[in-house]
Amino acid sequence: MNIIAQQIAEFLKNYAPFNQLTSEQLAEVASNVRVVSLEKKQTLFKINDTLHDSFYVVASGVVNISVIADAEESIISKLHEGTIFGLRPFFAKNNYKMTAKAREESLVYAIPIAVFKPLLANNSEVLNFLLENFASNLPDDRSSQGNLVSDGLFYTEKQSEAQFFQTLAYNTTPLLATSDNTAQEVAQLMAESLKNNVIIFERNGPIGIVTHADLASKIATGRFPINTPVSNIMSSPVVTVLENVSLAEAQLLMLKNNVTHLCVTIDGTDKSTIKGVISEHDLIAAQASNPGVLIKEIKRSLSSKELKEIRTRLTNLIQSSIQKNIPLTHITNIASEINFAILKRAVELSILDLGSPPARFAWLSIGSQGRKEQLLLTDQDSILVFEDVAQDKYIEVKDYFLKLGKKTTATLEKIGYELCPYGHMGSNMMWCKSLTDWIKQYNNWMNATRENTDNLSSIFFDYELVTGEQKIETAINNIVFENASNNTLFFDFLGNDALRNNAPLSFFKKFLVEEEGIHKDKFDIKTKALMPLIDSARLFTLSYEIKGINNTYTRFKQLAIADPKHAEIYLSCAEAYLFLTKIRTLEGLKNENSGQYINLEELSKIDREKLKNALIPMKELEELIKDKFQLTQFS
Amino acid sequence: MLDWLKNINKEHPEFWKEYIAKFSKKTNRYVILSTEATGNSTEKDVITYMSAFAVENDAVMIKDSFETILLQYRFLHDNHLSNEYIIESRILKLSEPEALKTFVEYLGNGIIVGHEIASDMEMINATLERLDCGKLRNDALDIDIMHRKLHELPEDKEFSLEELTEYYKIPSTEGDSTTEKAYKIALLFLKLKFKLGLK
């Protein structure tokens, strides 16, 4: 080892993960280093470059890591001395997902993957360090780890900006013609393919565009004969843009240049290959999946068909938001607002049909909808509470509300929310009752739990008003918390309910998968992982009398405040819940189902590890429940 | 010019023939060289130290390096010098013929880069002659000249390695050994190569 290699080893020794290596391993690494000098603004690798055979450590200077959005580089991290980056070749085969560029004159050490990989095999700590950091997407993680930059693509924006900066989908197979084609030929071409524009090109560069407007104003008016060369009538030059132009930018360009179409080329100039055409219509289509617009449209829609179409767009919005790594809490908030708007509209449509209700009422969502956690199209759960009326009117009123319930659930079914298999819906005789009956029902459930476990489901304790009287919800809220305080029997029931499912991991930390049935060898993420968390969160919030918070994630967050002694457990559960939801949602979106069963084989190794880690806090939570509620009665 | 005439009857050693054969191929390997000698005279003085790093694909290959101390018994003896400090060093120690042979094998057809490389080359060539070899055939680049070219400075203006490393803000190394010099020259070369747009 020569003196330079020694000095490199000395340098590396100060930083993770190299500090975990033995001095022989370190010497091996250091003597295989390749030193790369970067001038200011020189690029080391950029997005879509094929992977290098090495990863990098900043030796001196500063390197910027950036991603492209809105046709513009946005820097997501500045790397200083000792920071590791470019880990992608370790774990992935596809091209780089980010750009590394020197911010100032810098030196980086390139460490060949081939040299480092053998060290990983017998040093699990180093492997984990790299794995975790490659997998971590969150900026928080980066700051805590200090000197390593994730290669997964993280890019978070405030939600409103994210919509503004969303990239556009546009026509990537535009009609093309040369300048010696006649106007008639071009018009024929447009008519055949039902498009309203043709790009005129010359040696691969666009020189002009002919649209309906040009044909109308120049041919139909008789200013040019029908067989005139198209170059006489085209609008020229055509406004060109880069490939990944954003909605906002496209809009501005159209306004500025007073045009209706933009031509997309490889480098954004009119001297390069044509990639597509953006029309005004593409802009409108892009805006259509903006949450604000969706809610407005829901309010205006008149049939289940329209609502169904909007729900499909919501699914797309959720999908693209997850892909953009917008925090899941934001996505859930937006999605539940839209879901609620749809539910509300469904009730309103029934009222429009049936005439105004004979008494005040409240339509409450229960279960996942009530917790505002519904991202996928899962089944609908709801109850209907109407105010007490004179006895002679009761039958008539109940009849109306049953009809309202049936109509609404039918509408919702058409939209895509399946009926609840257990009949937990406002259309069910049992769950469409007057306020007094409901109060009796809750009293019954909570005080004589043992006899009433048959039709008691914990989902009745997650409710949220969809439409109707706020006062009714408050009344139910009061009765629940009144009954809950110091009600050992009731907490016993809930506690056992929360713990009834088998643990998700075996003693040896292996996933316990389905043993038979059509979901054999898949992991039931809903019953084994999500439900216990949801149930426990509910149990604790009831026992700490935390009112008005239904969402599992926020429940855990609140619990950490209410019970600071165990804050750590609650917080790790909150994070675990988010991650599990994300996995489930992605699975659901992929297979267009509820995502209940996860095919572990299809998960990446990193996700599998993260999933396993997310299941670990559940054990502690279980102990906490057993300890706090001293479960004996039913166990 | 008349070198080939002078050498025409000499039988070159085997390693030299192999070296010559390597020039049938083109190369993109640069060998950054730094040597230490007892003085400037090609006749009286000898090389005591040789260090080199290879540069390939714009990166200094730490592995692909060369470092040796030449044990000049005769010179030391003639000048009544002690070699005990040299003996203590952990660096590879070779006799002059062995060192030159290893170096020539390491060098191959790479393009030599150095600081005031002409004098290093002269010294090496003089030593090679003593071993019945010809002169080095490699192309050579001088970072001093590259620097002057970049800034269009007059030819007679010379810059020391210290001045250049300072000017280009090359991170300093701990010591001032020949190997560290070679490393600094390598980094300077990377910068100059980029700035001059050499492929």
- Span A480-494, pLDDT tens digits: 888 888 788 788 878
Cis status, amide bond into A237, omega within 30 of 0: yes
Position A423 in a domain: yes
* DSSP calls for A526-577: IIIIIHHHHHHHHHHHHHTT--S---HHHHHHHHHHH-GGGHHHHHHHHHHH
The Cα–Cα gap between A231 and B15 comes to: 71
Interface test with A, best of B29, B50, B62 (most A CBs within 10 A): B62
Number of independent structural domains in chain A: 4
pLDDT digit string (tens) for B75-110? 777 776 666 666 666 777 888 888 889 999 999 999
Q: Per the domain annotation, does A264 fall within a domain?
A: yes
The answer to whether the Cβ–Cβ distance between A35 and B59 falls below 8 Å is: yes
Same domain, residue pair A335 and A475: yes
Same domain, residue pair A267 and A195: yes
Whether residues A130 and A222 fall in one domain: no
Sign of CA dihedral A553, A555, A556, A560: positive
| A311 found inside a domain | yes
**B141 CA to chain A: closest CA distance, Å?**
19
Q: Nearest CA to CA, how far is A36 from chain B (Å)?
A: 5
Which value, in Å, is the radius of gyration of the alpha carbons in chain A? 31
Output the domain CATH number for residue A66: 2.60.120.10
Is the pLDDT reported for residue B50 higher than 70? yes
- Residue of A1, A28, A29, A34 to mutate for B, most B C-beta atoms under 10 A: A34
pLDDT tens column, A46-85: 888 888 888 899 998 888 888 765 555 667 777 888 888 8
Give chain B positions within 8 Å (CB) of A42.
194
- Chain A partners within 8 Å of B174 (Cβ): 3, 7
Q: Which residue of A has its CA nearest to B169?
A: A105
Range of the domain at B105: 28-196
B59 vs A110: CB contact, 8 Å cut-off? yes
Helix axes A605-629, A124-135, angle to 10 degrees: 90
Q: Which residues fall within 8 angstroms of residue B136, CB to CB, at 6 or more apart?
A: B107, B112, B121, B124, B125, B128
Residues A573 and A478 in one domain: no
CB contact under 8 Å between A7 and B65, yes or no, is: no
A162 found inside a domain? no
| Interchain contact, A31 vs B169, CB within 8 Å | no
Q: Nearest CA of chain B to the CA of A113: how many Å?
A: 15
CB distance B186–A30 less than 8 Å?
A: no
Q: Do residue A36 and residue A51 come from a single domain?
A: yes
Return the residue of A nearest to B92 by Cα.
Answer: A2
Joined together, the tokens standing for residue A370 give: 């009530």
Residue at A582 is within a domain: yes
- C-beta separation of B37 from B48 below 8 A: yes
What is the rounded CA–CA span in Å between residue A368 and residue A374? 6
**Helices in A416-530 by DSSP H: which ranges?**
435-447, 470-484, 488-499, 525
Residues A283 and A298 in one domain: no
CA distance A113 to A52: 9
Contact state of B171 with A59 under an 8 Å Cβ cutoff = yes
Q: Looking at the domain assignment, is residue B80 inside a domain? A: yes
Residue B61 lies in a domain: yes
Distance of CA A98 to the CA centre of its chain: 21
DSSP annotation of A199 reads E
A470 and A326 in a single domain? The answer is yes
Alpha-carbon gap, residue A348 to A346, rounded angstroms: 5
- Report whether B54 contacts B61 (CB < 8 A): yes
Residues of A near B (CB-CB distance < 8 A)? 2-5, 7-8, 30-37, 39, 42, 59-60, 105, 107, 110
Closest CA–CA distance from residue A8 to any residue of chain B (Å): 10
Q: Tokens 């044509």 identify what position?
A: A274
Find chain B residues with C-beta within 8 A of A60's C-beta: 171
Number of domains forming the structure of chain B: 1
Interface-testing mutation among A37, A45, A56, A106, with chain B (most B C-beta atoms within 10 A): A37
Closest residue in chain A to residue B182, using alpha carbons only: A4
Instruction: Look at residues A441, A460, A482 and tell me which one is the last residue of a structural domain.
Output: A482
Domain boundary among A258, A288, A318: A288
| A322 and A412 housed in the same domain | yes
Interface of B with A (CB under 8 A): 51, 53, 58-63, 65, 67, 91, 169, 171, 173-175, 177, 179-180, 183, 186-187, 190-191, 194-195
Identify all chain B residues contacting A32, using CB atoms and an 8 Å cutoff. 62-63
Do residue A383 and residue A522 come from a single domain? no
Residues across chain A: 635
List of chain A residues whose C-beta atoms are within 8 Å of the C-beta of residue B186: 35
CATH number of domain containing B189:
3.30.420.10
Of A33, A37, A107, the CB nearest to B62: A33
- Is there a contact between A35 and B62 if contact means CB atoms under 8 Å apart? yes
* All residues at 6 or more sequence positions from A280 whose CB lies less than 8 Å from its CB, including other chains: A254, A260, A261
Size of interface A-B (CB pairs under 8 A): 59
Is A161 contained in some domain? Answer: no
For residue A165, tell me if it sits in a domain.
Answer: no
Residue A620 sits in which domain range?
491-629
Question: Across the interface, do B187 and A107 touch by the CB < 8 Å criterion?
Answer: yes
A616 φ/ψ sector (left φ>0, alpha ψ -120 to 50, else beta)? alpha
**What does the block give as tokens for A413?**
């079914």
What does pLDDT average to in each consecutive run of 10 residues of chain A (635 residues)? 86 85 88 90 86 89 76 70 83 78 88 84 74 50 39 36 54 85 89 87 85 88 88 86 75 80 84 85 71 77 85 80 76 84 90 89 87 81 89 88 91 87 84 89 77 68 87 88 82 80 72 78 85 88 84 88 88 89 85 80 82 84 83 53
B14 assigned to some structural domain = no
Q: Of the candidates B60, B91, B194, which has its C-beta nearest A34's C-beta?
A: B60
**A163-201: burial string, b at 16+ Cβ within 10 Å, e else:** bbbbbbebbeebbebeeebbbebbbebbeeeebbbbbbb
Pick from B180, B186, B187: CB nearest A3: B180
Residues A279 and A303 in one domain: no
Is B31 a residue whose pLDDT tops 90?
yes
Cβ within 8 Å, pair B179-A3: yes
Q: Residue B22: inside a domain, yes or no?
A: no
How far away is chain A from the Cα of B63, in angstroms, using its nearest Cα?
5
Kindly determine whether residue B62 and residue A8, on different chains, have CB atoms separated by under 8 Å: yes
Give the domain-ending residue among A247, A265, A288: A288
CATH number at residue A194: 3.10.580.10
Strand A106-112 vs strand A34-38: parallel, antiparallel, or unpaired? antiparallel
* Residue A547 half-sphere exposure toward CB, CA atoms < 13 A: 12
A37 with B194: Cβ contact below 8 A: yes
What pLDDT is stored for residue A146 in this prediction?
40
Answer yes or no: do A414 and A319 share one domain. Answer: yes
Q: Do A105 and B169 touch (CB under 8 A)?
A: yes
What is the least distance, in Å, from the CA of A78 to any CA of chain B? 20
pLDDT at residue A635, as a whole number:
43
Record: contact A2-B67, CB cut-off 8 A: yes
Cα angle, residue B48 at apex, residues B46 and B50 outer, rounded to 5°: 115
Least CB-CB distance to B187: which of A3, A32, A37?
A37
Domain containing residue A454: CATH number: 3.30.460.10
Chain-chain contact of A110 with B169 (C-beta, under 8 angstroms): no
* Residues A156-165: tens digit of each pLDDT: 333 333 444 4
**Virtual torsion, Cα B113, B117, B121, B123, nearest 10 deg:** -140
How high does pLDDT run on average in chain B? 85
Q: Are A35 and B58 within 8 A, CB to CB?
A: no
